[in-house]
Amino acid sequence: MTGESKKQLRGYIPPSAPLNWEPVTGNEPPLRVGVSFTVNWFHKRVGVDYSERYHTDPEYRYECLMKMKTHLLKSFPDIAYFKEHDESECATLTGIFGVCFVAMVYGLKPAYFKNNWPAISPNDCLSIEEIKKLKPFDLKNNPAVAQVFEQMDIIKRNWGVIDGYVNYQGVLNNALKIRGTDIFIDMIDDPGLARFIFDHITDTMINLMQMIQGRQRESGFPINSMSTSNCVLNMISQEMYEEFILPYDIRLSEAFEKFGVHSCNWIIDPYLDAIGKIENLGYIDFGSESDMPRIKRMFPNVRRHVFYSQEHLRNKSPEEQEADVRRIYETLAPCDLSVPDIEITMPDENIIRFVSMTENVMKSYE
C-alpha cells in the first residue's frame, strides 16, 4: 500500500445500511463497482422487518443480515462487491438507527418502519429555547449511547470483535434533524445561534465517535476514521458552506486518522474549492455529472467514488451506459463506481448486465 493510500477510505454500502467508509485494502481493482438496494427491496425479497428490534437487538439483526447476504450471493453470484465481506459483517453495528443516531443523542425519537430506515419527524425538532439551554452531554449516561454500548457488549460476548461503522452523519445533516429547516434561516438571521448549534454538534460527534470507536478498538476492530455526510450541502451556497460548515468539517478531519467527505449523488462542482482546504482528506464522492477531470486534478491522492443513478440503468441504452463507464474509467481510475438505492422495480437483469459490462470495460483497458 502506498503512502497516499494509507490514509484513504473507500465507500461500502452493506445490505440495508447507509453508505459507510472503511480503509482501502490496496488490492482494489482500477474500477471497483458496487450496487446497493433500498431497505424496501430486502423487505420485499426476503421479508426482513426493519422495525425497532432490528436496530436494538444485534442477535436478531445478525439473523436478518445473514438472510440478506445469502440472498444477494444467490441472486448475484458473479458480483464481486457482495463477496468483499464475510459472515463477520453480519455481527455488526453497521446500519443501526439509520442516519438518526446523533439526533437520538439529543433526545429526539425516531419512528420505525417495517420497510424503511428510521426517521425523525420534522415536527419533533428542538425549540430555540431548548437549543439555547444545551450544555455538553454526559455521554456515558445518555440513554441512546447506553443502548449502543449494551449492543456492543452483546456483540463482544457472542462474536468477540465489535465490527461495524455507525453512520454519524455530518454537522449540517444533524443540525437539520435537531433544529429543523430553521437552521437555514438561522445562518442568515442569527449566525451566532447557528454557530452555537454547529459547535455543539461537532463536539458531540467527536466525543461520541471517540467513545464508541475506542470500545471497538479494544475488541480488536481497527477503526479510527470518519466521513462526514454532507447530503444537504447543496441547499446552501459554497460561500455559506465555507463560512459555516467547512470549519467544522476541518475540526472533524483533525480528530481522526482517516477522513472523507460524502456529498451524495449530486453535482459537487461549486463546493470543490472549499473542500480542497481540508488537508486530511482520504475520500470524496459525487454524482456522475460532476466535473471529473477537475476532481482528478484537485484530489489526485484521494479515493474517488462516483455515484451512477439507477435511472441511468433504467432509461439509458447499454451503449450509452458503456460510454459513461468508459468516460469515468478514463478520467478517474483508480476509483469506485456505485449504483445506490436500487428499487424493487429494477429487474435483476439490468443490474447483472451493467456490472458485467463494467468488468469488460476494465479488461479492455488492461
pLDDT score at 6: 83
pLDDT at residue 1 in the model = 59
Question: Which pLDDT score, from 0 to 100, does residue 4 have?
Answer: 64
Query: In the chain, what are the domains?
Result: 5-365 (3.20.20.210)
For position 168, what pLDDT does the model report? Answer: 98
From the number of C-beta atoms within 10 Å of its C-beta (0-12, 13-18, 19+), residue 100 rates as buried
Contacts of 27 (CB under 8 A, 6+ apart): none
Report which residue type is found at 248: Y
DSSP 88: G
- Amino acid 87: pLDDT: 86
Per the DSSP assignment, residues forming a β-bridge with 92 are 163
C-alpha cell at 133: 439551554
DSSP E strand boundaries for the chain: 9-12, 20-23, 31-37, 110-113, 116-120, 225-229, 258-262, 283-287, 303-307, 335-342
Cβ atoms of 249 and 243 closer than 8 Å: no
pLDDT for 123 equals 86
pTM of the predicted protein model? 0.96
Q: What are phi and psi of 339, to 5 degrees?
A: -110, 105
pLDDT, averaged per 10 consecutive residues of the chain (366 residues), comes to 78 94 95 97 98 98 97 96 91 97 98 97 91 96 98 98 97 97 96 98 98 98 97 96 98 98 94 97 97 98 97 96 98 97 96 98 93
Rounded to an integer, what distance in angstroms lies between the CA atom of residue 323 and that of residue 329? 10
How far is the CA of 298 from the CAs of 32, 34, 215, 237, 257, in angstroms? 21, 24, 36, 20, 21
